[in-house]
Each structure stands twice: as C-alpha cells, then as structure tokens.
Amino acid sequence: MYLKNHFSRIGFILAAAGSAVGLGNIWKFPYVTGEYGGGAFVLVYLLAILFIGLTVFLAEAVIGQNAQADVATSFVKTSKSKNKNWKFAGFILFSGLIILSFYSVVLGWILSYVFTSFGTLPSDAKTAGAAFETLISKDIAAQIAYHTIVAGSVIFIVLKGIKEGIERINLILMPLLGLILLGLLIYSFTLDSFSTAVSFMFSPDWSKIDGNALLAALGQAFFTLSLGVGTIMTYSASLPKNVNFVKSSIMVAIVDTAIAITAGLIIFSFLFEAGAQSSAGPGLVFISLPVIFSGWGFLGQVIAISFFVALVFAGITSAVSMIEPSLKFFIDRFNFTRRKATVICGSTFYLLGIVALLSMTSAYSESLTFFGKNAFDLMDFMTSSVMMPLAAILTCVFLGYFVDKELLQRIFTAHVSNLVFNIWYFLIKFIVPIAIITLFLNKLGIL
C-alpha cells in the first residue's frame, strides 16, 4: 500500500534507525566509553538500552501508533480522560528544534573535516588541536557557511515530506553508512590492535564504574535512541497500524547498538594502533583521529574521507528526525502547509544555530553567556539534562497512570504475547520512572 504521508515497514525501520544512529553513536559513544574505561561501561550501557531505552522507545511508539497524530494531539487522544490539557505535553517537541540548532553546527564542523581530508591532515596533536580550536573559536564565516549547508540540506529533505523526503534519504544513506562502516571494520580487523580494542570494550574494569558512569550510560541510551523529543512518537504516527511496531522497535534498537559497538571497535583499534589515549574526550574525533589518519599516507586519507562522510550521513538522517515533530505539530494542529511549517521551524533552528556557534567564538562568547554557560552549552544542558528527562518521565507516568491499561494491552497483544506486554507495563509503571527521576535529580545536582 502506498501512502504519501506514511512510511512503509522497512522505511520506518530505516528512518527510525537513521534517527537513532547519529553523532551519538560514532562521535559520542566511543569517547564516553573511553572516558569510563571501556568494558564495564559498555555492559552498563547495554543494560540501559535493553531495560530502559527500549521500554521508553516502545512507550513513544505505542502512543504514536494509537493516536496517529502530532505529539500534542497524541497525548490528548491516548489519555483516559481525553482532557485537553494533555496538549501541553507537546512542549517536548521543542527539544528537537533546540538540539538540531547545535547538532547542525557540529555536523558543519564534520563537513569541514570531509573537505580537510581531501587536502593535508595535521600530522601532530598540537597542530590538530590548534586547527580545531581555530575553527570553533575564530572562524565565524566558515562555521556559518557549513552550518548553512547542513541546515539547507535538512530543510530541502523535510520539505519533500515523509515518503519522498525522509524515507527516501534514509533508504539511500543508511545502506551507504552501513557499507562504509563495514569497510572500516574490515580494515581495523587487519590491525594488530583490533584484539586490544575488543578486550578494552568487552572486559569490564569495574573500578571505573560509579554513579556518574551509570548516569552517563543512561543519558547516552536515551540520546542514542532519540527519546524524549517526540521523534519516535511522530515517526510511529506515520507507521501503518498493521505493522508490528514492537518487532520494528526492537530491530531499531539492535541496529543502533550494533553501530555504536562497531564504531567503538573501529575507533579504538585506530587509537591503540597509533598508541594514542582512549580517554581523549570530545576532541577524539576532531583531534586524535586526523593525526592518526595523516600518519597512514594515502590510505589514511581514504579512510579519513570515508569516516567523516559516514559521520555526515549518520548525522543528516538524525537531523531530519529532530525537526519532523514540530512540522507535524504545525501541519496537523494549525493546518499549516508543509512549506510554511518548514520555513518557520527551519529558520528558528538555523538562527539558534548561529547563536550557538557565535557563543563558542572568542569574539562573542562573553555576550552570549548566560547563567555561567555559553549558549551552545546551555542548549545542550537544557535539552539533555532537563527537557528530555522530563519528557521521558512524563511519558512513563502518563502511560502507567493516565491511560487505559486495556487499550495498551490491546495494541501490544495484536503483535506480541501478553507476557511481553506485562513486562513492558511493569517496567514503564515502576522501574523506568524511578531510574530516570534519579538521573534527572542527580544531573541537576539535587541528589
């Protein structure tokens, strides 16, 4: 069946996986794993994905499936009372626009590294560090140009709609991303350090695991599965009801996890091969890797280009998913045309992105610092530490206490056994809210 505003089953899986697989997997997961010492963190992360991430993913999916509407309407329609005030839960979709603002800036940096990879890569850590520092703190024109290219591409894709825009770009880019990563994995397999990377990622060093590591794992599980933003809810609203959304959701979580682990193995093999530190932090991809690639001559250049192109592909498919909840909101609730909604939401995130990038530059950082954080960090903090956890708590409490259990049971058991439903319901009602509330209060320094 061809529905213009609906995904096909495979289209949904690829688009949701495209949303999930992003900078969070290839850039962030390896460096956070590195910072927390490897194996033990990976194990905690896998548990967080399985018990908490997947549970909330299914929660968003079931709301979207049931209501087949924008986020605000979906809450109202799914609630037991049909109380109109549930529309305020729709606030969560603004996180997507805010995240997209700085995500587009970071994607712009990566794009600039694609171009740099065609030329000469820095050959030592000092030069590489200085080049990155110059880009983000001084080179305003270049950053705006790259951000404009990224934002323009996102707008161009979403203007075409779910089927012709989002589904199609994912059908093209996701297999390409998979191929590039497979190629890089095969190459790292030939390196002596591959086995060191495997044991780093899979033999647990429990001494590094403390409360912070647990929270980082949980936060990462959320971010990587695109939760707490209304994205999964919105995508599921465009998934025909006869599709098994539980199976599709599990597939997405598996693909996302497999890609994070693959990216980790590739990056740690490269780092260990060059004798570099695994705990280099956020600069790992922008500073440590280019130096390693530069030491490998022509082959290094090919690997560098492939690697940064893979990051761009992964990032673009995530970026389009961040804006879609807002577009659907304006289209469904206010009868806006897709064009009008895209112009409004597109220019909002584009301008916010410029504020974010300016706030990192030496010229404007002072005037764009609020409450001790520059605008870039503030947007990151407000979304990942405040709005996304709040949205996740709200979603769990909503489903556990304000929605008819029979309704949920009916939707689930059309596809899976009652036992699976009961496990999910228990997790969503009791376990997951407690875990996230703990994360939330701890991140805010209250606990």
Binding interface with ligand PFF (CB under 6 A): 19-20, 22-25, 96, 99, 223-224, 226, 229, 231, 318, 321-322
CB atoms within 10 A of CB 287: 22
Burial letters 399-413, b for 16+ CB under 10 A, else e:
bbeebeeeebeebbe
Contact 162, 325 (CB under 8 A): no
Judged by beta carbon, residue 48 or residue 131, the one nearer ligand PFF is 48
Q: How far is the CB of 324 from ligand PFF (least distance, A)?
A: 9
Q: How far is the CB of 73 from ligand PFF (least distance, A)?
A: 19
> Which of the 8 DSSP states describes residue 25?
I
Cα–Cα distance between 364 and 380 in angstroms, integer?
A: 18
Q: Which position's Cβ is nearest ligand PFF?
A: 24
Contact 134, 382 (CB under 8 A): no
Cα–Cα distance between 189 and 181 in angstroms, integer?
A: 12
Q: How far is the CB of 215 from ligand PFF (least distance, A)?
A: 17
Judged by beta carbon, residue 22 or residue 389, the one nearer ligand PFF is 22
The closest alpha carbon to 26, from 259, 300, 255, belongs to: 259
Contact 338, 327 (CB under 8 A): yes
Cα–Cα distance between 234 and 146 in angstroms, integer?
A: 28
Q: How far is the CB of 228 from ligand PFF (least distance, A)?
A: 8
Cα–Cα distance between 411 and 59 in angstroms, integer?
A: 11
Q: How far is the CB of 191 from ligand PFF (least distance, A)?
A: 26
β-strand partners of 374: 369
Judged by beta carbon, residue 234 or residue 294, the one nearer ligand PFF is 234
- Amino acid, res. 72: A
Judged by beta carbon, residue 243 or residue 387, the one nearer ligand PFF is 387
Q: How far is the CB of 134 from ligand PFF (least distance, A)?
A: 25
Judged by beta carbon, residue 19 or residue 294, the one nearer ligand PFF is 19
Judged by beta carbon, residue 128 or residue 225, the one nearer ligand PFF is 225
| Beta carbons within 8 Å of 134's beta carbon, 6+ residues apart | none
Judged by beta carbon, residue 71 or residue 276, the one nearer ligand PFF is 71
Judged by beta carbon, residue 65 or residue 317, the one nearer ligand PFF is 317
CA angle 174, 191, 273 (to 5 degrees): 100
Instruction: Retrieve residue 297's tokens.
Output: 């001559």
Judged by beta carbon, residue 20 or residue 173, the one nearer ligand PFF is 20
Judged by beta carbon, residue 18 or residue 300, the one nearer ligand PFF is 18
Cα–Cα distance between 89 and 69 in angstroms, integer?
A: 14
Q: How far is the CB of 314 from ligand PFF (least distance, A)?
A: 7
Judged by beta carbon, residue 92 or residue 289, the one nearer ligand PFF is 92
Q: How far is the CB of 225 from ligand PFF (least distance, A)?
A: 6
Contact 329, 92 (CB under 8 A): no
Torsion sign across C-alpha atoms 407, 408, 413, 418: negative
> Which of the 8 DSSP states describes residue 374?
E
Q: How far is the CB of 321 from ligand PFF (least distance, A)?
A: 5
Q: How far is the CB of 232 from ligand PFF (least distance, A)?
A: 8
Q: How far is the CB of 29 from ligand PFF (least distance, A)?
A: 8
Residue 283 burial by Cβ neighbours in a 10 Å radius (0-12, 13-18, 19+)? middle
Contact 293, 301 (CB under 8 A): yes
Instruction: Retrieve residue 7's tokens.
Output: 């995904």
Contact 217, 45 (CB under 8 A): yes
Q: How far is the CB of 223 from ligand PFF (least distance, A)?
A: 5
Judged by beta carbon, residue 131 or residue 341, the one nearer ligand PFF is 341
Beta strands in 285-443 (DSSP E): 369-370, 373-374
Cα–Cα distance between 147 and 350 in angstroms, integer?
A: 8
